[in-house]
Structure 1
Amino acid sequence: MNLNPDQITNYANTFIKVLIDYSPKLISAFIILFAGLYIIRLINRFIRSIMVKRNLDPTLTRFLADILLWVLRVVLFVSFISKLGIETSSFVAILGAMGLAVGLSLQGSLSNFAGGMLIILFKPFQVGNTIEAQGVTGTVCEIQIFVTKLITANNQTIFIPNGSLSNGNIINYSLQNFRRADLTIAISYETDIKKVKEIITAVLANNPKVLKIPAAEVSVKNLTDSAIQLAVRPWATNEDFWGVYADTLENCKQAFDAQGIVIQPYVRESSKSSS
């Protein structure tokens, strides 16, 4: 198709007229966009500083600030396209449909997200606590939105999904300042129980890491076919727990050797078949 000069002039004039008529909307829309981004950044910094001053949990602070940031960005984007003259109702409907589809496809992730929110809000544990959950024990080093990161005693990193973590049993060893060690020592029936209890009590009393209050306990736990089982329960602070656990066993063994007392070895009871 050949265009004559008059048609080209008409198209150019029309384009310039539309551009002149539309330029105020375009300029105001971009002013709103750039000003909005700057204001959102200021609001986000202000909210973060308030939450830090109120000593909120760092994970909760970061999460709430990020949520607020993206909500404000979405509102700004809708305002931007609305200022350009684009119909927003259909756009919002499309976003809603996309959100529903994504939500259905990410049900497991949403469960972990909800679990992370519950953990952050109700705080069954915090960063630095030693917990046992989902069959593993470790120190919490990071609480993320979808997973919680643990470091085990042998320096392994374990990630537990927050959904299963929040719905399962959690043992927090760090909430209380001290713990009790539950030890079992077996002796033969020929051994003087009273003498053995006195030896163990003296061992515990001579260990400065064993707490005086609550007092340690030494008592008969069980009478099996092959041995008398004694329950030894010393108390210690969380920091000294495993040291007290190991020292009690070692010092009791040395004290027994000095007194000529033999620890009864564990004997597995064999099942008797009926003839």
Structure 2
Amino acid sequence: MSWWWATITSGFTEPTHAWNLQMMRIFFGIGCFAKFVHGATGGGWQRFDEGQISRFLMKRRLGTAWTSRFVVLYKPLLIIRILASLSLAMGFMSLPSALLVAAGLAFEMVFIPRFLTFFMLLLSLLLACAGNLGGFLSVDWDGVGSGNTWAQAMIVLLAVDLYINTAWLKLRSPQFRSGRVISQWMTTAQEIRPRLAGWNFYYPGFVREALCHPDGSPKPLAGFAAKSTIVIEFLIPIGLLYSPTMPLAFATGIICHFFFMLMLPRHLVTYSICTVSTYFAFAAI
């Protein structure tokens, strides 16, 4: 019986190697650090300054009084969550840092609610439930115990759910299967990029030329890429759950997320790092 099933059926008491979640903590912290720095740059620092559309929309949605209080906290919280993610990556006060990172992600959900941000929020809360996330700038390679078992099992289930559901939603979409979603997204991004602050929608030009016609319609390669993405996203968690195929699934996942980043580097790099960090939770004992 594999470790993850034994863990669940035995009440989350099976011992596991401590380094699994410690390595995940490092990479997850790096991904959150990149996300939070991105959120404070490229116009993010000025998001709620007077006259900005985000401030106007929040006033209309939540009222002037609440918005005024939120604006006072906005910039200090941007700094705090950057420091918390860096502290988490280095292993300094890891559990409190994970809670602060979770608070920083919940804070972002107030004004930019996204499923991927919520996924990262759940991961940070699960890390905060782990018993041993390592020391400052160190990893306990030899430690074995049950302190991290529940958190590890929940992270595995969350990652499997993310991949399977993402693949299922894409499979149900004729627009995605045909490659039209990819081609139209890349064409639109190319058109609006000069109007946006920062490096929001940059991707290599040869990628667009390979996938899109000049009018935005998909080339055959776009449809092939879309269908391949569905298959790969479905197979990655299955491969990670089976010890003999874990290294192949690990490498495939990294390559897959690298190609995701080619389409939307500044936004998807953080999500990709955090998602790949969950692979360490699959490591067999």
TM-score, normalised relative to structure 1: 0.21
Larger radius of gyration: 1
Answer 1 or 2: which has greater strand percent.
1
Answer 1 or 2: which has greater helix percent.
2
Q: Which structure would you say has the larger RCO, counting Cα contacts within 8 Å and 6 or more residues apart?
A: 2
TM-score, normalised relative to structure 2: 0.20
